[in-house]
Amino acid sequence: MPEGHGAPVLVDVAALAGVSHQTVSRVINEQPGVRDSTRERVLAAMHELGYRPTTVARSHAPGRSRTIGVVAIGSALYGPSTMLRSVEAAVRDAGYTVSTESLSRFDRATALASVERMTAQGVEGIVAIDPEVDAATALQSLPGAVPIMVLCGGLDAIAPGVQIDGTEGAQGAVRHLLDLGHPTVRHLAGPLRWEAARCRMEGWRTALEAAGAPVHEPLQGDWSARSGFAAGRVFAADPDVSAVFAANDQMAIGLLLALHEAGRAVPGDVSVIGFDDIPEAAYLIPPLTTLRQDLADEGRRAVAMLLSQVERPATEPIPVRVVPDLIVRASTGRYTPRRDP
């Protein structure tokens, strides 16, 4: 190290390679207009010094901040947190800095405040993970300076040419149960502030109507096992209930316990289906039939799309549906008419 203290900086590399700082900068950024021999010399100098560009200085320089803001609902839920991790990783892998903000409440006001704060910090793009419905609409129609990618579990355009439709999966779940002979399917919805909850409910309703099956009023939970348990008690008390579609796996867990405690066998008396395929789903009692989305992949694709939008003029996505996979396990079975007592 030539200098006394800190890590080597760009000018140190330049001095060692016998070129100007700008040439080094060009090499770092893989810009054209550098003779190969020069490039090699610079590369060698960088290597010798163990040089690493300082992110904060790059961000600070006028022009590009190389920062993407990620604003997410700060829950411990499987879906959002999986998404968050994959989005953060994808952004970082693309060479951008991530600036995450976890909101305990992701409504219109908080969302706009967050976005404003982030743009003030100079982010070049924003990913919003699971905003509430009003926030999602507000963000999508923001005149804003920077591109915003909204991942709301609804009709998300996650890549140029690829859209994911939240209602499809739910329809598949319901059709599976109807195919098993169930006269109808009850629904335990998530909080309808969330697009994902609405879509799953919508899909459920659509599938029932298409099959001419009766549509009962859905119950509503808050995504937690606790709320699933409460709803499960209600369903368990009704002997006509033979199949339940829960909007996520956590609620399905609570459902399973409530049915068990009420002496209603799953799937003997009641079939249960969840959504998400959390890692534990296969090991519940009984193993849970559920719908799996490749959330990590979707996060990656969404980031790719955002970055392409950041780096060049937006391309309109062409709707091509991605549908969650139905994972059939032991919690769903043939309908057996209840024997009269």
Out of 1, 44, 61, 113, point to the residue binding DNA (CB under 7 A).
61
| For DNA, the closer CB: 125 or 286 | 125
Residues, the chain: 341
Of 279, 302, 290, whose CA–CA distance to 152 is shortest?
A: 302
How many helices (H) and strands (E) would you count in the chain? 12, 13
Q: Is 7 in the site for its own copies (CB under 8 A)?
A: yes
Rounded distance between C-alpha atoms, residue 178 and residue 285, angstroms: 22
Of 97-136, which residues contact its own copies (CB under 8 A)? 97-100, 102, 117, 119-122
H-state helical runs in 217-294: 225-237, 249-261
Interface mask toward DNA for 4-43; x: CB under 7 A: --x--xxx------xxxxxx-xx-xx--xxxx-xxx----
Helix (H) or strand (E) holding 159: strand 155-159
Query: Residue 282 gets which letter from DSSP?
Result: G
**What token pair was written down for 53?**
């560009």
Rounded distance between C-alpha atoms, residue 298 and residue 20, angstroms: 43
Q: Is 247 in the site for its own copies (CB under 8 A)?
A: no
**What token pair was written down for 54?**
């300082």
Q: Is 220 in the site for its own copies (CB under 8 A)?
A: no
- Partner touching 4 among DNA, its own copies, none, CB below 5 to 8 Å by kind: none
Q: How many Å from the N-terminal Cα to the C-terminal Cα in the chain?
A: 87
Q: Is 62 in the site for DNA (CB under 7 A)?
A: yes
Q: Is 83 in the site for its own copies (CB under 8 A)?
A: no
- Partner touching 38 among DNA, its own copies, none, CB below 5 to 8 Å by kind: DNA
- Partner touching 308 among DNA, its own copies, none, CB below 5 to 8 Å by kind: none
Extract long-range pairs of 28-36: CB within 8 Å, 24+ residues apart.
28/53
Q: Is 67 in the site for its own copies (CB under 8 A)?
A: yes
Q: Is 56 in the site for its own copies (CB under 8 A)?
A: yes
Interface mask toward its own copies for 271-310; x: CB under 8 A: --------xx-xxxx-x-----------------------
Stretch that binds its own copies, among 35-43, 93-101, 267-275, 320-328 (CB under 8 A): 93-101
Burial (0-12, 13-18, 19+ Cβ within 10 Å), 308? middle
Q: Is 300 in the site for DNA (CB under 7 A)?
A: no
CB of 141: closest distance to its own copies in angstroms? Answer: 22
Of 167, 164, 115, whose CA–CA distance to 136 is shortest?
A: 115
The partner residues of 162 in beta bridges, in order of sequence, read: 159
C-beta separation of 319 from 163 below 8 A: yes
Of 42, 1, 50, 48, whose CA–CA distance to 21 is shortest?
A: 42
**What token pair was written down for 64?**
């590009």
CB of 49: closest distance to DNA in angstroms? Answer: 11
Residues near its own copies (CB under 8 A) are: 7, 52, 54-57, 59-60, 65, 67, 74, 76, 78, 81-82, 85, 88-89, 97-100, 102, 117, 119-122, 224-226, 228-229, 250, 253-254, 256-257, 260, 279-280, 282-285, 287
Instruction: Kindly list the residues in this chain that would bind DNA in the complex (CB under 7 A).
Output: 6, 9-11, 18-23, 25-26, 28-29, 32-35, 37-39, 53-54, 57-58, 60-64
